[in-house]
Amino acid sequence: MARETEVKTIEWIDGQVRIIDQTRLPNRLVYVILDTYPSVLKAITRLQIRGAPAIGIAAAFGMVLGMRAARTETYGAFRRKFDRIKREFLETRPTGVNVSNALDRLEKRVNGNRDASVREIQDVLLQEALRIYEEDRTTCRKIGRNGAELLRDGWVVMTHCNAGALATADYGTALGCIYAAVEEEKRIRVYVDETRPLLQGARLTAWELQRAGIAVTLICDSMAAWVMQTREVNCVLVGADRIAANGDIANKIGTYGLAVSAKEHGIPFYVAAPTASFDLSLDTGTSIPIEERDGSEITRGFGRRTAPEGVQTYNPAFDVTPASFVTAIICETGIATPPYGESIPRLVKTR
Ligand code: MRU
């Protein structure tokens, strides 16, 4: 059943992609139509759509748009165009594994239909992209139900960035667990870090939770450790962009610091993510590519200069939290606990 507050982050409507322009939130809820693959590339790069599962879906729909525009009759030319567009999407946001997972699925469909006409392959690609979208919707519900088991009535949860409906097809991963717990009539309160430099926590998570009627308190990132020490925080619950085979987790910059603080304060640190976010080709998180973004996001965020002209900056968009800080990983297929080398393959296999 649809929630009254359902957020239509991304949809395929009449041959076009419709997204919420997340750069306009929380001030305005604006939908944007994307009808070419370059416009989808741009929307991903500019973070009009963001969050690992949502950009995986956007890349899949973007590929469909790109391949629909292919003016070729031969499989070889079609295939070369597919490879070129795939490379362009892979370069947009390298940390999350969902883009490459989604495009690998489409690639398999292209490979498996060598004898079909270009028109038929175009249709097959659209069906696969729609399947990725629908699967994410059901996956998030399952993650929510599994995660809700860990959250007790009256708990206070701290979260970072946005791993909610705005980061997925609907419902979210970390926030999905909170929504599911609240649907079970548990009283849950949430501290959300504002998440510098792009303020996904303040602009998106606070908006989303408030809209869903969930008690949310916004804090600056720098306050998190102090809040853990002086107020009640029962768990930290975040999403993930890529999870290595040993349970190391890449997520929004600042996640690692939260995990260290949580451990110091004896607070469980939970990660909620679909099995599509696992990258079992990586033994550990050290080889996860970390996206670096323009320094102007730190010095001139949201149009106002807040640092001297010419100052050097370093702006990694993600960090990697070692598995030793992670209490449990909540997936659609169950909950993984240490040792992750054993529990993660089990969860992925039951996918
Ligand atoms: O840079 P963003 O806003 O795309 O970063 C998003 C995050 O770090 C999320 O926590 C992650 O993608 C999980 S979303 C379910």
CATH code at position 65: 1.20.120.420
Mean pLDDT of 320-327: 98
- What is the per-residue pLDDT across 167-176, written as a single tens digit (0 to 9) for each? 999 999 999 9
CATH code of the domain covering residue 317 = 3.40.50.10470
Residue 4 lies in a domain: no
Does 71 or 51 have the greater pLDDT score?
A: 51
Overall average pLDDT of the 38-51 stretch? 98
How close is the Cα of 181 to the center of ligand 1, in Å? 21
Span from the CA of 277 to the centroid of ligand 1 (angstroms): 11
Q: Are residues 328 and 180 in the same domain?
A: yes
Instruction: Kindly state whether residues 199 and 258 are assigned to the same domain.
Output: yes
Do residues 150 and 135 both lie within one domain?
no
Q: Judge whether 2 lies within some domain.
A: no
Mutate to test the pocket of ligand 1, among 252, 291, 329, 331 (most ligand atoms within 8 A of CB): 252
User: Do 106 and 162 sit in the same domain of this protein?
Assistant: no
Centroid of ligand 1 to alpha carbon of 237 (angstroms) = 13
* pLDDT for residue 1: 43
Work out which ligand 1 atom sits closest to the CA atom of 168: 15
Could you tell which of 7, 9, 19, 50 is best to mutate to test the pocket of ligand 1, judged by most ligand atoms within 8 Å of the CB? 50
CA distance 238 to 273: 9
Residues 198 and 294 in one domain: yes
What is the number of structural domains in the chain? Answer: 2
Domain coverage including residue 67: 10-140
**pLDDT tens per residue, range 145-166:** 999 999 999 999 999 999 999 9
Residue 189 CA to residue 193 CA, distance in Å, equals 13
Nearest ligand 1 atom to the CA of 317 is: 1
Domain assignment present for residue 3? The answer is: no
Ligand 1: residues with CB < 6 A are 50-53, 96, 161, 163, 167-168, 173, 200, 239-241, 251-252, 317
Give the CA angle between residues 167, 26, 165 to the nearest 5°: 20
**Residues taking part in catalysis:** 241
Euclidean distance between CA atoms 318 and 255, whole angstroms: 8
**Ligand 1 atom nearest 291 alpha carbon:** 1
The 3-state DSSP class for residue 204 equals: helix
CA 251 to ligand 1: nearest atom = 8
Average pLDDT over residues 230-242: 98
**Same domain, yes or no: 74 and 156:** no
Same domain, 185 and 100: no
316 and 220 fall within a common domain: yes
44-48, 68-72, 266-270: the lowest-pLDDT one: 68-72
Q: Assign residue 224 a region (left: φ > 0; alpha: ψ between -120 and 50; beta: otherwise).
A: alpha
Supply the pLDDT for residue 72.
Answer: 78
Query: Alpha-carbon distance 266 to 279, whole Å?
Result: 29
The last residue of a domain, from among 95, 118, 140:
140
In whole angstroms, what is the distance from residue 238 CA to residue 136 CA? Answer: 17
What's the mean pLDDT when you consider all of the chain?
96
pTM of the model as a whole: 0.96
Q: Give, using CA atoms, the residue closest to atom 6 of ligand 1.
A: 51
Spatial distance between the Cα atoms of 24 and 48, rounded to a whole number of angstroms:
8
Cα separation, 256 vs 254, in Å, equals 6
Helices (H) and strands (E) in the chain, counts: 12, 14
Cα of 45 from ligand 1 centre, angstroms: 13
Distance CA 258, CA 269 (A): 9
Which atom belonging to ligand 1 lies closest to the Cα atom of 272? Answer: 15
What is the C-alpha to C-alpha distance for residues 217 and 347, in angstroms, rounded to an integer? Answer: 33
How remote is the CA of residue 55 from the centroid of ligand 1, in Å?
9
Cα–Cα distance, 339 to 351 (Å, whole number):
19
Which residue among 7, 57, 161 is best mutated to probe the pocket of ligand 1, counting the most ligand atoms within 8 A of its Cβ? 161
- The rounded Å distance from CA 121 to ligand 1 centre is 31
Are the C-beta atoms of residues 249 and 256 closer than 8 Å to each other? Answer: no
Quickly list DSSP for 296-309. Answer: HHHHSGGG---S-T
Q: State whether 97 and 150 are in the same domain.
A: no
Residues 167 and 79 in one domain: no
Q: Considering only CA atoms, which residue is closest to atom 15 of ligand 1? A: 163
Q: How far apart are CA 24 and CA 26, in angstroms?
A: 6
Looking at the structure, tell me whether residues 225 and 115 fall in a common domain. Answer: no
**Mean predicted confidence (pLDDT) in 207-232:** 98
